[in-house]
Amino acid sequence: MSPLPYDPARLAARAAEIVAATRELAALGWTPATSSNFSMRLDAGHAAITVSGRDKGRLTEADIMVVDLEGRPVATHHRPSAETLLHTQLYARFPDLGCVLHTHSRTQTVASRLFARQGHVRLAGYELLKAFAGNRTHDMAIEVPVLPNSQDMPALAAQVERLLDAGPLWGYLIDGHGLYAWGKDMAEARRHLEAFDFLLACELELRRLQP
Ligand SMILES: CSCCC(=O)C(=O)COP(=O)(O)O
Ligand SMILES: [Zn+2]
């Protein structure tokens, strides 16, 4: 019987998934200068998340820790990601949510700057919109919100709650910062993250070609 309030075998499995995905995303250049953070649900009350400040290109299982759904460290002296609350608020709200990914790719960062004043990026008519869970056609549009950046995580999380209240959401941008995307498991969250990055790159390219 483990004295820990979570299953250590499950933590080991989730940590391995996070490390593998993080290394791949880092190799794409999406996690510069220790940026980005990644998490997976462990159970109804706990998530595995990256330790703050770690080089995401050199991540190991030792760089993954456990938090409760209020973002407090569990059975560890490590400091969780500075943005832990933006992960745990999603696990607390959506019982079926399994994974949250946050990256700082150049495309995500440039798009967040360009569309900050508008407050959203409209993605319409792309076949790749079907990558977002539940979408069945290209013949639709989604709006990716762009939130102002802040170091006040409870304030940022409150803004995210308002977005979530307003309707279905697969992710959002933070101005000058990066992208949050999520899904029921790692594969779905990766699919959403990659679809956002590709579609944002298309929007940036279109503006270059058709100023
Ligand atoms: C140098 S990155 C600035 C913080 C940030 O935006 C980020 O994604 C990484 O923070 P963490 O505490 O999760 O390492
Ligand atoms: Zn960040």
* pLDDT tens readout for residues 7-39: 999 999 999 999 999 999 999 999 999 999 999
* pTM, rounded to two decimals: 0.98
Average pLDDT, the chain: 97
CA angle 84, 180, 158 (to 5 degrees): 60
pLDDT digit string, tens, across residues 164-209? 999 999 999 999 999 999 999 999 999 999 999 999 999 999 999 9
Interface confidence, given as ipTM, is 0.99
36 lines ligand 1 (CB under 6 A): yes
Ligand 1 mutation pick, 22, 36, 78, 173, max ligand atoms within 8 A of CB: 36
**Lookup result for tokens 């940036």:** 204
pLDDT digit string, tens, across residues 81-97? 999 999 999 999 999 99
pLDDT at 2 over 80: no
For the four alpha carbons of 125, 133, 71 and 20, in that order, the dihedral sign comes to negative
pLDDT at 1 over 80: no
Residue nearest to atom 6 of ligand 1 (CA): 35
pLDDT digit string, tens, across residues 129-176? 999 999 999 999 999 999 999 999 999 999 999 999 999 999 999 999
Q: What's the CA gap between 130 and 89, in Å, rounded?
A: 26
52 lines ligand 1 (CB under 6 A): yes
| pLDDT value for 211 | 82
Report, in angstroms and rounded to the nearest whole number, the Rg of the chain calculated over CA atoms. Answer: 17
Supply the DSSP symbol for 80.
Answer: B
Domains of the chain: 8-209 (3.40.225.10)
Length of the chain equals 211
Q: What's the CA gap between 56 and 53, in Å, rounded?
A: 9
Which residues are part of a known binding site for Zn(2+)?
A: 102, 104
